Chains A and B, each alone.
Chain A
Amino acid sequence: MTNQSNNTNEKEVVLRVEHLKKYFPIKSGKILDRKVRHLCAVDDVSFTLNAGDTFALVGESGCGKTTVGKTLLRFYEPTAGSAYFEGKDIFAMSKEEFRQYRRNMQMIFQDPMSSLNPRMTIFDSVADVMKLHHMYEGEALSRRVYELLDMVGLPNWLAKRYPHEFSGGQLQRACIARALALNPKFIVCDEPVSALDVSIQSQVLNLLTDIQKDTGVSYLFISHGLPAVKYISNNIGIMYMGKLVETASSEELFCNPIHPYTQALLSAVPKPDPDQRSEKIILQGEVTSPIDPPTGCRFASRCPYATEQCKSASPEMREVVPGHFVACFQR
């Protein structure tokens, strides 16, 4: 393990996100008496991603993990913060500048069925991406498309078919092929396996790691499934209501979870072994609304260890063990 952390230090940083915030204004009330509240989807998130590594963002629905991914690709404009991709601040770029730059950053979505144009064949979907950047013409283009489909394990004779003729797993492969078409350095994988069958999930996860080994691409892997995250990622960030509560390397986090929320999350994963029906940490209550969240630790209302301090002040990230950051007063 020490070996690996040494390696990560030497690796080049692909993406550095600093204090990213994204608030969505919610307008309510009458025209004259308008109240604007804020949905704090992402609140002060910072992390770094090294070349050829995978950083996983884990959390429950509504915790803002997908918003982080989409804001990084500027589907949403950030409220505050900066993100440096290979040293360049991508939020400072103009729209047109970023459009050209976007080929370095791709995204794979959760639902493969809706992420391919139903009126285009798989071949055209992959080819269209390259045509946009005039990367290949004629013969070379179709050779490249078949090469990409080959890479993700889709046989050539399927290329000229439409999405509805494919199964979910095959479509996700096609989406991966399309994402790879522009030789990106960074791919946001937004729950890429949650919509797939159990037996297909492992195929796609293996494919993603194979591609990473071959091309050195970096992933931001967004997921709620902890076993998959453990397999694929080098570093993990646990999010709760828009905030990162714990970041650590994959091994460290699973061996030594420190934040009470992380502990509860880990214990809640049902294990496929009837003899391991372990005692679970059952959290009381549910995730509260991220609209105008309370000051103080956002987990305080469900936390078994919460004190007065937790309810009044917001904990900062502290390095508890080298490389292991936790935002909690009690630890």
Chain B
Amino acid sequence: MQNVLEVKNLKTYFFTDEGIAKAVDDISFEIGAGETVGLVGESGCGKSVTSLSVMRLLKAHTMEGQILLEGKDLNNMSERELSKTRGKDISMIFQDPMTSLDPCFTCGYQMRETILQHHDVDKQQADKMALELLKSVGIPDPKATLRRYPHELSGGQRQRIMIAMAMTCNTKLLIADEPTTALDMTIQAQILNLMRDIRKEHNTAILMITHDLGVVAELCDRVIVMYCGKIVESGTVRQIFHSPMHPYTRDLLASLPSLDVKQDRLNTISGVVPSITALPTGCRYHPRCSVLCEACSREYPEMIEVEPGHKVCCHLCERKES
């Protein structure tokens, strides 16, 4: 399988009053064609910074590493080349569709502009394409919707329009940054369904960024778990959800309240997420970890492959291997 996106040793740092914030610290991953990859972690773990770095939408103080989109390095691209690539080969949808649509223009106008930017068509054709796209994302009464302004639509419909706009060019990679977090439960189910359909139809690779493990299990083929700017574990959905290896992944899964059984007490992870500017030495999870060994506080563990496709970053797993 050819990889759509390959991220190699990406580092995105910021300078703050408190010190250097290593928002993303040396991460590497890849996404195959048509694959849906979930990037999970808690707030501040760097998952959103990763996505913005990949889109080159970030004014970071330092950004190093390679972001290869079908072999082309986005990190070395000029602003002009980038704006051609964005929207055509790679597009993004955000958590709050209200802020990503321009409130001054109708949805139809915005969609037409996006289409004209990337396709060699006239206005009438562009409008026709917009109509088709809206139909394909399941908007009731698409003709009327084209004439509406973003604030006249509900959150779910705005997110559908964002997805329609992202799909104008048959993009190879769609980055979805918490696309359903701002939506209601029943609407979330609708949108997830829609994303599933789109993946089937267009064979688009999706990078799904979320904190909701349920959404990941629902939609993704592979999962990457991040903690404090580092990838701690990655593998297929079944590997991650059925046999999680990293203590963080295990604790996180265990702490979810269950819908199936009534629990007397929830499992918790003790402590708090450390500040990104004052990270602990060694493994970043060790102050909260329940099974740590002596090496954990001393040095950062290497990423090792425990079974095909399942990589973990933990001293204890390493020892199991050897």
Contact = CB atoms under 8 A, between A and B. Distances in A.
In the complex they form, whether A and B have CB atoms below 8 Å apart is answered with yes
Contacts of B262: 230-231, 250-251
A273 B185 contact: no
B215 interface: yes
A202 B258 contact: no
Nearest to A205: B266
A206 B266 contact: yes
B188 to A, nearest CB: 7
A198 B187 contact: no
B255 A202 contact: yes
Contact of B193 (A169, A199, A265, A282): A282
B265 interface: yes
Interface stretch (B128-136, B267-275, B295-303, B306-314): B267-275
Contacts of A111: none
Interface in B246-300: 251-253, 255-259, 262-263, 265-270, 272-273
Contacts of B237: 274
Contact of A230 (B241, B255, B259, B267): B259
Contacts of A170: 272
A200 B272 contact: yes
Interface stretch (A77-85, A122-130, A220-228): A220-228
A224 B184 CA distance: 8
Interface stretch (A25-33, A113-121, A283-291, A315-323): A283-291
Nearest to B265: A206
A203 B268 contact: yes
Contact of B241 (A205, A272, A286): A272
A324 to B, nearest CB: 17
Contact of B252 (A61, A198, A275, A287): A198
A60 interface: yes
B259 A270 contact: no
Interface string A171-208: 00000000000000000000000000111111101100
A198 B213 contact: yes
Contact of B255 (A199, A209, A226, A250): A199
Contact of A270 (B140, B184, B215): B215
A277 interface: yes
A308 to B, nearest CB: 22
Given A198-B256, A202-B267, A254-B259, A280 B251 contact: no
Interface in A247-283: 250-251, 254, 264-277, 280, 282-283
Contacts of B217: 270-274, 276-277
B190 A198 contact: no
B189 A280 contact: yes
Interface residues of B, number: 45
B258 to A, nearest CB: 6
A206 B268 contact: yes
Nearest to A60: B184
B238 interface: yes
A282 to B, nearest CB: 6
Contacts of B218: 270-271, 274, 277
B186 interface: yes
A330 interface: no
Given A198-B255, A205-B266, A206-B268, A268 B213 contact: no
Contact of A280 (B43, B184, B193): B193
Nearest to B40: A198
Contacts of B256: 198, 202, 227, 272
Nearest to A204: B268
Interface string B141-162: 0000000000000101100000
B214 interface: yes
A152 to B, nearest CB: 14
Given A198-B256, A226-B259, A273 B140 contact: no
Nearest to B218: A270
B260 to A, nearest CB: 8
A309 interface: no
A282 B190 contact: yes
A63 to B, nearest CB: 9
A267 B157 CA distance: 21
B265 A209 contact: yes
Contacts of B186: 60, 264-265, 268, 283
A198 to B, nearest CB: 6
Given A199-B255, A285-B140, 15 more contacts: A60-B186, A168-B43, A169-B272, A200-B42, A202-B255, A203-B269, A226-B185, A230-B257, A265-B186, A267-B189, A272-B256, A274-B217, A275-B242, A276-B217, A287-B184
Return the 5 tightest CB-CB contacts between A and B, nearest first: A270-B214, A60-B184, A227-B257, A268-B189, A202-B266
Interface of A: 60-61, 167-170, 197-203, 205-206, 209, 224, 226-228, 230-231, 250-251, 254, 264-277, 280, 282-283, 285-287
28 contacts: A60-B184, A170-B272, A197-B211, A198-B42, A202-B255, A203-B270, A206-B266, A226-B259, A227-B259, A230-B262, A231-B266, A250-B262, A267-B189, A268-B188, A269-B214, A270-B212, A270-B218, A271-B214, A271-B259, A272-B241, A273-B217, A274-B218, A274-B241, A277-B217, A277-B218, A282-B193, A286-B154, A287-B184
